[in-house]
Structure 1
Amino acid sequence: MNSNSANMLAGARRAVSLAEPAVMGVLNVTPDSFSDGGRYVALEAALERSLVMIEQGAAIIDIGGESTRPGAAPVSTEAELERVLPVVEALRARSEIFISVDTSNPAVIQAVCAAGADMINDIRGLVRPGALEAVVAAEAAACVMHMQGEPATMQTAPSYTDVVAEVRAFLDDRVRACCAAGMAPERIVVDPGFGFGKTLEHNMALLRGVGELGAAGRPVLMGVSRKSMFARLFELDGLGARINGSLGAAFWATLQGVGIIRCHDVRETAQMVCLARHLMQQG
């Protein structure tokens, strides 16, 4: 999947190397996210957590102001901005880290990019009216993700004939749409959307084929951190089981050439990437 053109992700003001998997640290500034909801809603806590993740090896910080867990309700533009904008501003004042914001809202996209965000991580693949145009105008990087349905209902009855082929086709289509709108290819990564309208079997098929899901030569962002797919797989729903699954998947993803690994456990994930990279070295 990786080629020279796929070894870099460019934002408007800075870039991040994807020559080996870049670790993306998750920062949820929401009261209701599935793993760490409420822990980082205060600005000082969010900033401190960001700086800790950078020190642990994060190359990207991904800030989210709207929970997208199964069953989650949408939030207003005003609420989302109140949550994420101060964090983007504070982090940008303290660090040159590559900042991503997890949003589908064009108004939020415009505001956070003006405040210094480098990338928009959109679970809806920039399909909302105005979202793609806002990213192009900001010259930001973007992650376009596949999701079947909406967060409130996506896990009700997900169905595919060939999940890998269908997800790949959607991602190909979104990459073409982004390029047609004026986005340079080096600004785009793709996400298969593990757990977003997928059963355990669908998730396993996508994980098995994750190295082949890069659309139009663009790198894959993998986000499986602490997800319930591991609780179902191991038939044991505890944080330890979810973390073990996440770290095993990070090791596998590194071997498969994934570009970005989105995670909550930054130090441990960076260690898995390091181990896999060393084992891949010749001689």
Structure 2
Amino acid sequence: MATVALIVHEIREDAEQAALTLAGWLTERGHKLALLEANAKDLAIDAAVCEPEELAKGASVVVSLGGDGSMLRAAQLAAPHGVPVLGVNFGQLGYLTAVEPDGMIEAVSQTLAGNVDVEMRMRVAVTVIRASGEEIDAGHALNEALVERDESGRTVRLGVSIDHEYFMSYSADGIIVASPTGSTAYSLSARGPIVAPLHEALVVTAVSPHQLFDRSLVLNPTSTVEIEVLPDRNASLSLDGRTIVRLLPGDRVCCTRSNVPAGFVSLHGEEFLNVLKTKFGLASSNGELNPNED
């Protein structure tokens, strides 16, 4: 008998209906369920209601029913407990999810039987060092840490050091430090490189830089990237799209490889390449175009 934790997109009725179906299937087989309070209010499921930090404790798997945003949340809660996440896609394309809704039951069955691979995805650990010397543990990002301009809309000046050696200063809308998994998120829209998710690296990309050098850096996973807010503009730090803290001139953001990776259930091997082909309408085989390409 296993415990399965569910994270369900709160405003998608199809995800909630799938959660009810999955809960019934699991209960019939003697498995236990765990839910967050926000989901428990909307779902008539016999389940343990948990605080976020306790949801994955003792679970065999966390099943995310939603899109990539739900997967980011699930990974954040599951990784500290060493519990893998299985993503069921109720979003659009879904870079992070492993299975479509019609394959949900089979995927969960195979996961509980141990017939799947678990991919360990690198995360980024982030610390804020105030100008006063105070250190703040900002947390861990699966996709990216972003130091960006504040609400004024003006570009921000940021000094970047790599392995404690000054590299250069940027005048830009922001700087992204992404994991390989995050290379297909905001970093990609900023013209950063695509890195296979099982690689380990820190990918540094400037957002709309106002200077000649605008190339990304793909650094060793053992590197330390420090971003200092230079006078006389404020900035902010966000992790995976969540604003964490406001930054003042002299504050620094330190990014390193996290020692707590996120485990993702993998059912079919290289889903990553298939998602890329679908998103960009790449040739399917023998030079033929995908059906969605004109």
Q: TM-score range, shorter-chain basis?
A: under 0.3
User: Could you state the TM-score of these two structures normalised by the residue count of structure 2?
Assistant: 0.26
Is the strand fraction higher in 1 or 2? 2
* Structure with the bigger percentage of helix: 1
Higher RCO structure (Cα 8 Å, ≥6 apart): 1
